[in-house]
Amino acid sequence: MSEEIFKKVVSHAKEYGFVFPSSEIYDGLGAVYDYGQNGAELKNNLRQYWWKAMVQMHENIVGIDAAIFMHPKTWKASGHIDGFSDPMIDNKDSKKRYRADQLLEDKITRYEKDGKTNKAEELQAALDQALLDNDLVQLKMLIEQHEIACPISGTRNWTDVRQFNLMFSTEMGAMAEDADKIYLRPETAQGIFVNFLNVQKTGRMKIPFGIAQTGKAFRNEIIARQFIMRMREFEQMEMQFFIRPGTQKQWYEYWKEARLKWHKKLGLGDDNYRFHDHVKLAHYADAAVDIEFNFPFGFKEMEGIHSRTDFDLRNHQELSGKKMQYFDAELDENGKPYGNYIPYVIETSIGLDRLFLATLCASYKEEEVGEDDKKDTRVVLALPPVLAPYKVAIFPLTKKDGLPEVAREIMGDLKLDYNCFYEEKDAIGKRYRRQDALGTPFCITVDHESLENKTVTIRYRDTMKQERISISQIREILAAEINWKNLLV
Ligand code: ATP
């Protein structure tokens, strides 16, 4: 995958109704995007894949939907008010602001691309150390030593590195004098922690158990780039798995492997994934790893797996004065109950938008088709059928002779179970191509022969093969391919 392909994917996403810049008629809003008619479908399907795998397939994981607004003390307890910041640096000539660590990460990627592996490793180690020590002076020094220039002005005229809190705030309450500063959640995890007791008690959950949720999160990212990779409003899919203290290593390994397996099942290419262990640990973690995906612009984080200890529940207990404990009646090796404790937590946290981008990039294909003077390029999104925005497109060959009626009848039968697309206009070849570009795995064409013997042509997206089948066979063929089982089992 190259950067050239990335540009094509971005324009494809716009042209085919997957992703639009937010409020585009006003020239957009930095790092905020809207999902269009096809993007919303694909995003829903990806969310469902996660939800089914995490909640439906696990008896001991349940899902919730907590509010975006939370009591401001939540963010004190979680450490976000004091510690959720990134190191920023400004270029004095272009007046552009950057994340100091990302300028250095980009340099590392550059070194890797140029085959300067030693330099890349050396800089990575120095960067990790500077971040570990929270050493802003050292970050600036690394930027200077590696002669990093501003991509806009081309100069190396930098300010000092400073910390910048990423949380958005607003006021709650109608009266200004009553106004209370609240935050737009920067992660969905805290909605789970504050509901730990509610869910545990009402669901009679026994440790180990998990609580999952999907939803919007907001971060005032210093620099937003690479399309939907880094947004200021994005969606997370998170699961907190509550465990007995002392078992965190084992469960951390378990979730690392389970999550990687889930990714690979999507079929975006096994070699496109790798683990990246964190050297610099977030304020809440005792171990952390990223699952990185090979995006067209290099391997970048798609999901984080964090061993969060009892940091969050313990702090919420302290600040709220409510006991965040669990009574474990199981017996230990001495025959005594484990008793009361604050559970430890393993978190899996994936960005839905990054998953969407990875899926789009890996599925986008340009293929040479036709022969000699009729050579042509077709664009196809080779999405797993169950994720495709439309599962089947139904075309009457012409608009007359009763063909639309038969096509509508087939659609009427299928649409309860599958998202179907209906189209009468244009030559059939053109209609097929449009569906290829949306990722629709099957097209059904109704022609005059259909009226005589109740058969249709089914066309397969990936092979472009066409087959004559009887109308009564359609469901069977679709069911075999459009099946969650193919991803979940
Ligand atoms: P990064 O280092 O890329 O800023 P992070 O380590 O801060 O990410 P986490 O706090 O671990 O990210 O969040 C979990 C997941 O949420 C990430 O793996 C990513 O998929 C997603 N995510 C985080 N920030 C953004 C963002 N600004 N836009 C889109 N997705 C995001």
Task: Read off the pLDDT of residues 2-24 as tens digits, 9 standing for 90 and up.
Answer: 789 999 999 999 999 999 999 99
Question: 263 CB less than 6 Å from ligand 1?
Answer: no
Please report how the helices 100-113 and 117-132 are oriented relative to each other, as an axis angle in degrees rounded to 10.
160
The mean per-residue pLDDT over the stretch 76-98 comes to 93
Residue carrying the six token digits 């550059």: 110
Q: To which H or E segment does residue 182 belong?
A: strand 180-183
**Shortest-distance Cα residue to atom 2 of ligand 1:** 301
Q: 429 C-alpha vs ligand 1 centroid, how far in Å?
A: 41
CA of 351 to the centre of ligand 1 (A): 6
**Predicted pLDDT at 82:** 87
pLDDT at 212: 98
Using the predicted structure, report yes or no on whether residue 1 has a pLDDT greater than 60: no
Is 221's C-beta closer than 6 angstroms to any atom of ligand 1? yes
CB of 304 sitting under 6 A from ligand 1:
yes
pLDDT above 70 for 175: no
Q: Decide the pairing of beta strands 442-446 and 455-460.
A: antiparallel
Q: Work out the pLDDT band at 162, boundaries 50, 70, 90.
A: very high
| CB 350 near ligand 1, within 6 Å | yes
- Asked whether the predicted pLDDT for residue 102 surpasses 80, the reply is yes
215 lines ligand 1 (CB under 6 A): no
Span 116-140, average pLDDT: 93
Measure 302 CA to ligand 1 centroid, in angstroms. Answer: 7
Inter-CA distances, 298 with 148, 256, 272, 340, Å: 19, 21, 10, 46
**Residue 49 pLDDT exceeds 70:** yes
Ligand 1 binding pocket includes 354 (Cβ within 6 Å): yes
Contact 383, 481 (CB under 8 A): no
Mutation probe of ligand 1 site: the residue of 85, 225, 234 with most atoms within 8 A of C-beta: 234
For the chain, report the end-to-end CA distance as a whole number of angstroms: 29
* pLDDT band (50, 70, 90) for residue 375: confident
The answer, yes or no, to whether any atom of ligand 1 lies below 6 A from the CB of 293, is no
Closest ligand 1 atom number to CA of residue 232 = 27
Give the β-pairing of 466-470 and 209-218.
unpaired
> How many percent of the chain have pLDDT more than 90?
90
Residue 253, both tokens: 């390994």
Q: Ligand 1 mean position to 236 CA, how many Å?
A: 8
Residue 235: CB within 6 Å of ligand 1? no
pLDDT of residue 223: 79
Nearest-CA residue for ligand 1 atom 26 is 230
Nearest to 344 by CA among 245, 459, 448: 245
